[in-house]
Amino acid sequence: MEMTLEKILQSQGFGTRRQCRDLVLSGDVEINGEVCETPSERIPVEGLTFVVDGKAWQYREHLYLMMHKPEGYECSHEPQHHASVFALVPWQFLNRNLQCVGRLDQDTTGLLLLSDDGQFIHRYTSPKKHVSKVYQMTLADDLTEDQVSTLETGVQLHHERNVSKALSCRKLASNSLEMAIDEGKYHQVKRMMGAVGNKVVSLHRHAIGGLILPEDLEPGQWRYLTEAELRKLAG
């Protein structure tokens, strides 16, 4: 597939068609080491790498990102009390309507997916899809075997019609638990722990589907998902 250079830049979030045209005319865009000054030039997009203001970019029809969400950030374009996770990604992505694939509370850390692909977002947020999420948590009190058993059997949360139960529970320490769920109810993990008489002190999302947060991705860092990681995510 071919697109005009100005359209390529617009699709990648560099501004309006007029802004992208001016960017090309200013001599700030390079392809294969050569300055391109013709906005209407048609260029194949498959495998395309281009340079804007000295920074290299790869053409991507859609964005699929993973982030190690740090504490103290809201998963919102209009945060109320804390900084937004969208402040951690390039501004060009915001022009592409990048969205969080599900949300984490401001005090919850761990694996966060972001995309501008509506079908992808629906696939991993729809309750009907039953995508598993694995959380690791520290609790206020020591965990009892009865609490673990009840979580796996199911608890009734306030204002919810159906019981919520863990897919699995693994005790990590006396007051630490790893729990997998396949729903996305509001504050679900915290509410489930409250329902069995305990309280979450810290919460970390370790995995989504078959995708585990890489150990080398530090809090606040993000990167593109690889094809292999997208396959792991699909399970």
DSSP for 103-167 reads ---TTEEEEEEEES-HHHHHHHH-GGG---EEEEEEESSPPPHHHHHHHHH-B--TT-SS-B--S
Rounded Cα distance between 139 and 93, Å, is: 36
CB 62 within 8 A of CB 41: no
Cα dihedral across residues 208, 212, 215, 216: positive or negative = negative
Which pairs from 59-64 meet CB under 8 Å and 24+ separation? 59/8, 59/12, 60/12, 60/224, 62/115, 62/116, 62/117, 62/120, 63/93, 63/96, 63/98, 63/114, 63/115, 63/116, 63/117, 63/224, 64/113, 64/115, 64/117, 64/120, 64/224, 64/225, 64/230
Amino acid symbol at 42: R
Active-site annotation holds for 146: no
Return the structure tokens found at 91: 């501004």
Rounded Cα distance between 106 and 201, Å, is: 13
Catalytic entry in 22, 28, 105, 107: 105
Catalytic residues: 105
